[in-house]
Structure 1
């Protein structure tokens, strides 16, 4: 019987136990080769096969068309904040950004180092508790691209819709990719740090339409140029080989679970159960507008903030880990990515009910 805790960490986040067990079994001797994946040459036929299978399975999971490149890069999503304008923002153009929280603001601040940025809409008027309706957006005619974060991990604010615009959409899906189906063709580029729903940290996945390649500025470093990465199969230099391998195992696991459609059903049930409990309690609260609530990151507060420390101590004692909210917003946060099952939600709700009965 497993003694693993329920890990509600926002990232690096829980990985499927089946994936960890398979990696454990293959750690010292991958497929009878007598060595670990992390010891392989990335140029070897064995590793190239691992990498190609990972891309093939991701393409199948998300129905990625052939005219999109899939890149497995390093530097995390935060490096993309610079990489995107270096590749997609010509010196005489403007990029539109949508401000919905801390991660989108970090992207805005970094992009301003490279060219004009128009903050076309912001959730600030609602104190980042609701999304700005697209009818209110002040988009730039002829913008190079429109950037937004589909899910704000820290604030718990998520788009349930895809913006409609003429400019290419560039979206940070670090915390909600693979959680439910999406139409890749609606986007010019999708990027996602791995450590939520893809695998361990050290990897970022970029899905980019081919017509957006070849536009990098002359000053763009070779290692940050999407075209170079695409031409070299994401192996211009030694990639994050083990993270890429583990991501491939996660993609296989997702297919075994029934794919992204099946994950949508599970994730809907998980978030509905947790939000319903919070909404029906006078002791806990969630401040986000219901239509903009995140499926992946559920922030909540106790009626008496003085009880936070006791709540967290009791949670830890029960194997409910990493429920403390981000330092910038306080309170609690349950990150409920694909790898966490309904049993984790039921255990959390049971503890919340018990704590409310004792302390409420």
Structure 2
């Protein structure tokens, strides 16, 4: 079958595993460690072109990421290099919600019908994580709890929290506008060293909170991010509040919003190219001046820096709580942006020796 016409969904992954197909995970190593499809090989998108020798040319390559956008780009790169590649649409986030396979990172364990149940619908980040942490302290080893939330960023937050705390996620499933997560408490003594190996912690990552919506500050953050990634660091940029304007997609469809949501949208910049500068903006004149100077001095524009950072494999995470407050929908942001909350960010800071707030 011609791979340009072949369309496969992430829910076909288990069948592909049984058939012995080659599956490529192009997410970042931390995402892969939290959970992945059984037998999948991990090569981050930013490293793919220089690691093509690790991909077999005599086999069809099935590619996936978290939501499908990075894997589509990876499939295009593979096709340009004469590989036969197919993107698994919708990504691991969808597979994670429907699969009980051990390779997904969720163990096959019977759900306790008498498990503790917590309703946290409408509660914003970090509220659900606080509730989970508090509930876990009340449980004995082996006992289970379920929490229902409406913040879809909690899906990745709780994965990072469970990995850090050593507890087990039995279900992480989204139905309609609600997310159901079932966790099991593990014995802290078995968490420490279940395989008899000593864990040696190495911190060589970089994380930054991008709070500002000023063009010059955003440019500085991407310069640092690209530089850190080029030096071999795993980089996470967490965009919150005004910083969300930095990662808006200029090609996003126009949204028909009402009330305060419409007012917020009208007052905020439409994309990175429309951001003001922090000093001497002069109703937009200063922004045009600095763009002119940057062009003359051969300094990349902010939009170009964002593109380069993405190509390098810099992980960009949009704060879902801030998105709700600022009336920004997920399809208004750049396609390769991930979604999460404070738990996602703090999970990455555990492996970082550089943390910035911009």
TM-score when normalising by structure 2:
0.29
Higher RCO (CA-CA < 8 Å; seq separation 6+): 1
Q: Which structure has more strand as a fraction of its residues? A: 2
TM-score when normalising by structure 1:
0.29
